[in-house]
Amino acid sequence: MAATSAATFSAGSTVAFGTKKSLATFSGLKAATFVKCESESSFLGKESSAALRGSVVPQAQKSNQKSQYHVNPQASYKVAILGAAGGIGQPLALLVKMSPLVSALHLYDIGNVKGVAADISHCNTPAQVLDFTGAAELPNSLKGVDVVVIPAGVPRKPVPIAAEVLKKKGVYDPKKLFGVTTLDVVRANTFVALKKNLKLIDVDVPVVGGHAGITILPLLSKTKPSVSFTDEEVQELTVRIQNAGTEVVEAKAGAGSATLSMAYAAARFVESSLRALDGDADVYECSFVQSDLTELPFFASKVKLGRKGVEALISSDLQGLTTYEQEALETLKPELKASIEKGIAFAQKQTVSA
């Protein structure tokens, strides 16, 4: 199971939120005072993009028979990336710097972060970039921050380590801690669109379970738009989605693992989190969270995000499963349960050692 610390999102944990603020925007890599909002250029699907337009772009004005959406160039939120000098952290920092929702970007790492911050700060998008190095500067990197993203960590550690660490510190809020699943959704959407010759921006495949091997369960029967699959296609797509990380490792000939797709997925989740914090009432993402949807204490499923984090766990995806999906769900539970228990033990051992 990939480390929770390597794919953790903490939303809205450090500041209170008041009235909705106007947002900055940019077109491509060029700062602008307005932008034509096209869903194809977003991290999000068609439905989420429409919701984003309605949330962050309050009104549209027609120009030359095409909609132009005008907003004031003032971003609203602060994001901290812990592990910003790493293989995921650097492209993630760049993508977050491009977000029209971000006013400040705090980049933290144990070393080599100043150069990353200097480089990214040259990009002419509104977010101010600050760098923080080492344990002594970690507290300052978190001050006033709305969303904390942690791509730092060692791969293939059990979960849920981050939750246990926060519990030990007395600051755990299950509504504000999110484990990686967006990467699996991004991959599922891509592979399904390619397989079925669909327009990628329209495709949404929920993924449940965990984030390693057979614990990753794409619910292909719940794909939007509705599409039929043969038994062979279901098997092929499910296995490819489950082994997508290995596919990248093999393609890189052992010289690395997935970093760019992970950064993209993390940036998409950051964008969704910020939209939710900003008051968008229609934000949904799949994430590994504390859950009561199954007998397991942690489980990945679609969640509704709001200003306080998780507003609801969406149970409908687990209803009306195909025989294949139901059997796969029952098969993954023992492995995920063992990984969760191993993660709890690992975190407790580390706490005792410290």
Contact in structure between 219 and 64 (CB atoms under 8 Å): no
Catalytic residue among 70, 106, 122, 211: 211
Structure tokens at 204: 């949404």
Please name the residue that has the structure tokens 């059997």: 327
Which residue reads 């690395």 in tokens? Answer: 256
Q: Which of 293, 300, 286 has the alpha carbon at shortest distance from 336?
A: 300
Q: At what angle do helices 46-56 and 260-277 cross, to 10 degrees?
A: 40
Distance linking the first and last C-alpha atoms of the chain? 23
The yes-or-no answer on residue 211 being catalytic is yes
Please give the structure tokens belonging to residue 139: 């507290």
Question: What are the phi and psi torsion angles at 280 (to 5°)?
Answer: -65, 125
Six token digits for residue 245: 């990380």
H or E, element range at 289: strand 283-290
- Name the residues annotated as catalytic: 211
